[in-house]
Amino acid sequence: MNQLDALRQWTTVVADTGDFRQLAQFKPQDATTNPSLILKAVQKPDYRPLLDDGVKKHKGKPVDEVIDRLLVRFGTEILSIIPGRVSTEVDARLSFDTAATVARADRIVALYRAEGIDPEKRVLIKIASTWEGIQAARQLEQKGIHTNLTLLFSFAQAVACGNAGVKLISPFVGRIYDWYKKSEGAKWDEAANAGANDPGVKSVREIYDYYKQNGIATEVMGASFRNVGQIAALAGCDLLTISPDLLAELAASDAPLSRVLDPNASAAKKVDKVELDEPGFRFALNDDAMSTEKLAEGIRAFAADAVKLEKLMESV
């Protein structure tokens, strides 16, 4: 049994890519996309026709609508290959506007329905884990539209997401690791900060334990991995979304892989549930330099790629 097959025993494997032609070989249950992955895909000859056809077909429509139609086109192609759900992201430039995020999510869901896809079963709307994004997710979940709260770096964000009843969260393991490694500079000891001691891994384990201890149904999906060691250290997490390169590395390895996270073991370590109102959330996030910086950086990067995608469309 290779490591990828071993991982599937306890964890739902999710592919993190817009390159849907790679999916069949790894047989993931779900898939995640984001503006950066879609931008990367449409610059390849295999996928450029999807952008060109979409722009020409919907000429004259607002560019934000054409982008949503492109994202749904990719999502629809992905859903024809995988058995589970696809995550489709709301424009990061709406990360601080609850009403606009809800409206954009409603449109994406309507576009999926027009393609004959049941969004309640097969689509997760990805939203940045800002206070406004989490409140948008609360409203969407109440309407039966399920959400994936992304760019999540802190315990406070996870607490607020759990309290809001979101379907799934995506803690960013690799980006947390990146921040601490950069912060330590020459003092960083890679070996001492690997495996269970990796700061990104520790963050996910804390969130996973807290959810299981308090009966919070929100699914935990580790994301943004830098190496297979981080994945192995989270074997047993509800879901893990993994890039094609790392999926291939797992599939090529026969090294032993053991379960690390277990819901029953976590639930036994009971801790009190935390409640966070808006001021408490904002202070806790502000008090965490890593989370504040990585959340802002992530929103800027996704917003910049959305602009690049718009410019690419304008060139058609």
pLDDT tens per residue, range 41-57: 999 999 999 999 999 99
pLDDT confidence bin for 35, thresholds 50/70/90: confident
Total of domains in the chain: 1
* H-helix segments, the chain: 3-8, 23-26, 35-42, 48-57, 63-79, 98-114, 119-122, 131-142, 155-164, 173-184, 199-213, 228-232, 244-251, 263-267, 278-286, 289-314
Q: Considering the chain, what is the average pLDDT of its residues?
A: 96
Measured CA to CA, the distance from residue 43 to residue 313 in angstroms comes to: 11
What is the reported pLDDT for 217?
98
- Domain with 18 in it: 3-314
Q: For residue 68, give the nearest of 306, 308, 316 by alpha carbon.
A: 306
The answer, as to whether pTM is greater than 0.85, is: yes
Residue 269 scores a pLDDT above 90: no
User: What CATH number does the domain containing 303 carry?
Assistant: 3.20.20.70
pLDDT in tens, 215-256: 999 999 999 999 999 999 999 999 999 999 999 999 999 999
Give catalytic residues, as residue numbers.
126
pLDDT in tens, 90-133: 999 999 999 999 999 999 999 999 999 999 999 999 999 999 99
Q: Which residues contact 255 (CB under 8 A, 6 or more apart)?
A: 3
